[in-house]
Chains A and B, each alone.
Chain A
Amino acid sequence: MADADPAPRALTAYPRLAWTWCTAMAQYPASLAMFAIASFAAATAELGAIFVVFAHAGRIAGFGIREALLFYGLSAIAFTITDFLLGSVERLGNHIRRGTFDTMLVRPVSPLVQLATDEFSPRRLGKVVPGAIALAYALGHAGIHWTPARIATVPVLVCSAMVICGSIWVIGACVQFFVTEAGEVANSVTYGGQALAEYPLAIYGRDVVRAVTFVVPLAFVSWQPGLYLLGRPDPLGLPAVLRYAPPVVAAVLFALAALVWRVGLRRYRSTGS
């Protein structure tokens, strides 16, 4: 059993550990419910802000509230599910400082899986709900002209977006292998990225959109997929082929995240700090 291949081992270890944490958390149902409601409320507040903004402005950068909800829904569903599945990796620096990362290294399961499932709790699903509702509504009411190709693409786009977010999350956490205290740097691309991608990116202007297309590829989480589903030309004039790129971007970023994790872990194991 100890000789099993590490990759499938990690795939089965994840749900086992996550489930064990869930049953442990379920012993405090009141606290669990309170947290679930609280994270639902926090996500709802962000959605509320979008309504407030569009109620004042009507249309922003050529998009109305229904189209905006499509961008919000795509971004929120990807970021919140990623946060649910591996949001705990952001505490890497804490584990390194407290020495608990060493204890993860002496167990026969990938430390990344142990990090991701640490204190895994269903309460974070509360955050997913408003995004899921917004996305479901927008898919029906944002004026998408549904073709079989577009219907088939939705799961691909959502999965690609989740892989992109997850990779950004892991890369952000790996910064802490190099500067243990700098966990908050990652927040600027993880939570900051989420805040950014909730609005149609056109509102930020050309320079920002280029940066989040070619440097930190957040544009492939909600902006390009949204343009594809709506069948709208890119208002900033970037090549139309980009809207077909999310799966490619996801694959490249996934490989990059795996590489950065390995480099970070190797550094940790050669310096011990």
Chain B
Amino acid sequence: MPDPLISVHGLGKDFTVRRKRRSTLGRTVPAVRDVTFDVAPGEIVGYLGPNGAGKSTTMKMLIGILAPTHGTARVAGLEPARQRTRLAARIGVVFGQRTTLWWDLPLRDSLALTRHLYRVPAQAHARRLAELTELLDLAPFIDTPVRQLSLGQRMRGDLTAALLHDPPLLVLDEPTIGLDVISKSTIRAFLLARNAERGTTILLTTHDLGDVERLCRRVMVIDHGRLAFDGGLDALRAQAPVGRTLVVDLAAPAPPIDVPGARTHRVEGPRQWLELTANPASVIAEVTRAHDIADLTLHEPDIEDVVTRLYRDNAQVTA
């Protein structure tokens, strides 16, 4: 087992919220609590959780933007809070919601600025830029000002900027948010290739299930500031079992269907969602016998259902 690239122990962050205007003493709200994990070199790890669960707070602590209140973190052999500048040279960071490129400059100039910021020797820069230009197909728009790029083009430019100094660790915050299907798949394929060929470790947050299913061999789920799950996708499915869903379109709106082996959890006009606990065939037979059916579809559970279930179970445990 090689030394971990990221090693986090008991990491926590409290924010002070001022309760009222007059009180100077604030209330302390923990945003992240007692998070512990290791990431080995070459892993691709998805960091999932709903908005406000502590995802970006954790990420910011790992890249040195935020100082933790509790615990320790070591990333690429450095302590992010105290060695932010040195760490920055060893990681590549991409924020999906905002660009690290300069809005008014052509992409080429933005990348030239990045080269000076990271002090990449001119030769190495030229070599890597040529390689990335080919892999990400930057040539058609490399001389266009960043503000005129499409979201997908911009994200490819951002990825290039993050990789020009050849970091062993890539931290991605929502890298595919708002992208079209083709751009998403280009970027996923690129990340997989980068990981396979150069062993680049990738830590990403995402809401996109396609990202998780395509990229991540391991997922961590954070909920209310705590690490609720850490393991493989299959293990996650096993821990929070969600049955298949039968979507029933009735001929006319009706009260919730009640048949053995299924539980109706959503009704919208003539459409009803049934969570299956028994063999689908018997349930379908029951439903068709008792109701006038226009259409039927069977859904496999996806990651979002699994994660939602995990949250619900956790909420019940803590409540």
A109 near B95 (CB under 8 angstroms)?
no
Q: In the complex, which residue of chain A has the Cβ closest to the Cβ of B86?
A: A2
Instruction: Tell me whether B93 is interfacial, beta carbon within 8 Å.
Output: yes
Chain A residues whose C-beta falls within 8 Å of the C-beta of B91 in the assembled complex: 106
Asked if B15 and A271 make an inter-chain contact with CB atoms under 8 angstroms apart, the answer reads yes
> Given A20-B116, A106-B63, A271-B15, A2 and B90 touching (CB < 8 A)?
yes
Interface SS of chain A: helix, strand, loop or mixed? helix
Which residues of chain B come closer than 8 Å to A13, judged between CB atoms?
116-117
B99 to chain A minimum Cβ distance, whole angstroms, is: 8
Given contacts A20-B109, A99-B95, contact A272 B116 (CB under 8 A): no
Instruction: Report how far A109 CA is from B84 CA in the complex, Å.
Output: 10
Task: Tell whether, in the assembled complex, residue A272 and residue B65 are in contact, meaning their CB atoms are under 8 Å apart.
Answer: yes
Given contacts A2-B86, A21-B113, A271-B15, contact A106 B65 (CB under 8 A): yes
Q: Are B85 and A102 touching (Cβ within 8 A)?
A: no
Pick from A20, A106, A272: contact of B88, CB under 8 Å? A106
Contacting pair A98 B98 (CB below 8 A): yes
At the interface, yes or no: B66 with Cβ under 8 Å from chain A? Answer: yes
Q: Does A270 contact B (CB under 8 A)?
A: yes
Known pairs A102-B95, A271-B15, A272-B65; A107 contacts B90 (CB<8 A): no
A268 → B minimal CB distance (Å): 9
Closest to B81 in A: A269
Q: Judge whether B49 is part of the interface by a CB distance below 8 angstroms.
A: no
The interface residues of chain B, by DSSP majority, are classed as mixed
Query: Considering the complex, which residues of chain A in the window 1-50 have a beta carbon less than 8 Å from any beta carbon of chain B?
Result: 1-3, 6, 13, 16-17, 20-21, 23-24, 27
Write out, one digit per residue, whether chain B residues 107-140 have a CB within 8 A of any chain A CB (1) or not (0).
0010011001111000000000000000000000
- In the complex, whether A238 has a CB less than 8 A from a CB of chain B is no
The CA-CA distance from A109 to B15 in the complex, in Å, is 27
Q: Is the CB of B65 within 8 A of A24?
A: no
A192 CA / B93 CA spacing, docked (Å): 40
Whether A6 pairs with B85 at a CB distance below 8 angstroms is: yes
What's the nearest-Cβ distance from chain A to residue B61, in Å?
Answer: 10
CA distance A102 to B86 in the complex (A): 16
Cβ of B97: which chain A residues have Cβ within 8 Å of it?
99
Count chain B CB atoms within 10 A of each CB in A13, A16, A27, A106 and give the residue with the most: A106
Chain B residue contacts of A272, Cβ below 8 A: 15, 57, 60, 65-66
A17 touches B93 (CB 8 A): no
| CB of A110 within 8 Å of the partner chain | yes
Q: Name the A residues within 8 Å of B117 (CB-CB).
A: 13, 17, 107-109, 114
Q: In the complex, what's the smallest C-beta–C-beta distance from B142 to chain A, in angstroms?
A: 14
CB contact under 8 A between A103 and B113, given known A24-B105, A272-B57: no
Q: Does B64 contact A (CB under 8 A)?
A: yes
Which chain B residues numbered 15 to 69 have a C-beta less than 8 Å away from chain A?
15-16, 57, 60, 63-67
Residues of B close to A100: CB separation below 8 A: 98
Q: A20-B113, A24-B109, A107-B118 are contacts. A269–B89 as well, Cβ < 8 Å?
A: no
A105 within 8 A of B: yes
Query: B85 near A108 (CB under 8 angstroms)?
Result: yes
A48 to B73, CA, bound (A): 60
| A interface with B by C-beta (< 8 Å) | 1-3, 6, 13, 16-17, 20-21, 23-24, 27, 98-100, 102-103, 105-110, 114, 119, 266, 269-272
**A-B pairs with lowest CB-CB distance, top 4:** A2-B89, A108-B88, A108-B89, A103-B100
Q: Can you show 5 pairs from A to B with CB atoms below 8 A apart?
A: A27-B106, A99-B98, A103-B95, A103-B98, A106-B65
